[in-house]
Amino acid sequence: MKATFKTAMQLHSFPYDHQKLTIKLMSDWPLDVVEFVKDMSIKDSIRIDTFTGHHEWTLHKHVLAHAVEEDRAKTGSHRQYPIYHISTHVQRQSMYYLWNIALVIFLILGLSFTSFSVEASAPADRLSVTVTLLLTAVAFKFVVSSNLPTISYLTLLDKYVLWSLVFQCLMVVQNAVAVVFYKHDMSDIFDYICMGGLGGFVLIGNAAFIIAGIVKNSSAKDKLDKLTRQYLDLCDDINQRWQTRQQRKRDRDIAKENQSQMPASEKPSQPNPSPTPATKKNQVAPTSDENGIEMKKMADPAIFTSETETSADMHMA
């Protein structure tokens, strides 16, 4: 069976994000009629070698399956329905976005400092360099947006690109204000101060982006490794149960084989069970027959039917 499933992605940590892929199976019968229970004799698994998105995602081998109860408020009914979840996780390979977007943005930021090599007396030349790099950064912002679905919040990479645009705007303001200091013979001092301040701004922003990526990667790795360990422990438990059942089956087969090979004289004789009077079988209480039969019927319908038929046979005899 082939099927295509869709899920809503959480992209706050893009491109360091990981996604939980869940298949939900729901019964039309309410929970008081049908209940989903995991079969502990079968090991859940997923084929990683046939995963077609391996160039962009890393598919983890753990599979989590469990039954849940749907909230009555969600169903809009007074009944609850059983749901079975089958989940796995994929983690995005972030190197493509780091090399092709983040690194290019960093180089654009570095090239912005070349505007300080132009004399403050020529603000048009300075602004031409800075504005060109600003437009380049804006173009990269559209590239990033085209690789993401339409969402109403900012991803980590969006924040980095917007931060670079803020830096470019500060560079434009610096180039324009430098003309005023040039008229007072203070343009060199102003350039040095701005170069140091903006350089620190760039270093802090890039360091924050790198640290955030390391922290998010480490957190995701710890979470997914924990789930993988739980899955492997469950698989070991299932394998142990299977081996125990197989050993018991082999023991029974050996016992039957040994018994079949024994001489007839050595086989243990089976004693014939003495018949039990039907009137004393499964006697409930020393009450009248009518009350006794009624009590047995309430306790066990099968017993009541058996004894009623026996009494009828005796009466006919």
315: confidence class by pLDDT, cuts 50, 70, 90: very low
Name the residue type at position 211: I
Per-residue pLDDT band at 159 (split at 50, 70, 90): very high
Whole-number mean pLDDT of the chain? 80
Record: fold of 96-226:
Methane Monooxygenase Hydroxylase; Chain G, domain 1 (1.20.58)
pLDDT of residue 281: 40
Between 23 and 264, whose confidence is greater?
23
Q: Is the pLDDT higher at 72 or at 170?
A: 170
Res 257 pLDDT > 60: yes
More confident residue, 210 or 6: 210
> What is the percentage of the chain residues whose pLDDT exceeds 90?
33
Using only the alpha carbons of the chain, give its radius of gyration: 38
Is the predicted pLDDT of residue 309 greater than 60, yes or no?
Answer: no
pLDDT surpassing 90 at residue 173: yes
pLDDT band at 282 (very low <50, low <70, confident <90, very high): very low
pTM (two decimals): 0.71
Distance between CA 35 and CA 27 in Å, rounded? 9
Report the alpha-carbon distance of residue 193 to residue 296 in Å, rounded. Answer: 99
Domain range annotation of the chain: 18-93, 96-226
Res. 130: pLDDT tops 90: yes
Asked whether the predicted pLDDT for residue 316 surpasses 90, the reply is no
pLDDT tens figures, 204-242: 999 999 999 999 999 999 999 999 888 888 888 888 888
Kindly state the tokens that stand for 114.
């070349």
**Cα–Cα distances in Å, from 139 out to 87, 101, 115?**
38, 11, 20
- Over residues 274-291, the mean pLDDT reads 43
Q: Which residues pair with 91 in a beta bridge?
A: 18, 58
Is residue 133 within 8 A of residue 108, CB to CB? The reply is yes
Beta-carbon neighbour count of residue 169 at 10 Å?
13
The larger pLDDT score, comparing residue 276 to residue 181, is at 181
Which SS3 state, helix, strand or coil, does residue 276 take? coil
pLDDT band at 297 (very low <50, low <70, confident <90, very high): very low
Q: How many helices (H) and strands (E) does the chain have?
A: 8, 4
- The band of 267, judged by pLDDT with boundaries at 50, 70 and 90, is low
Most confident of 75-84, 117-126, 287-296: 117-126
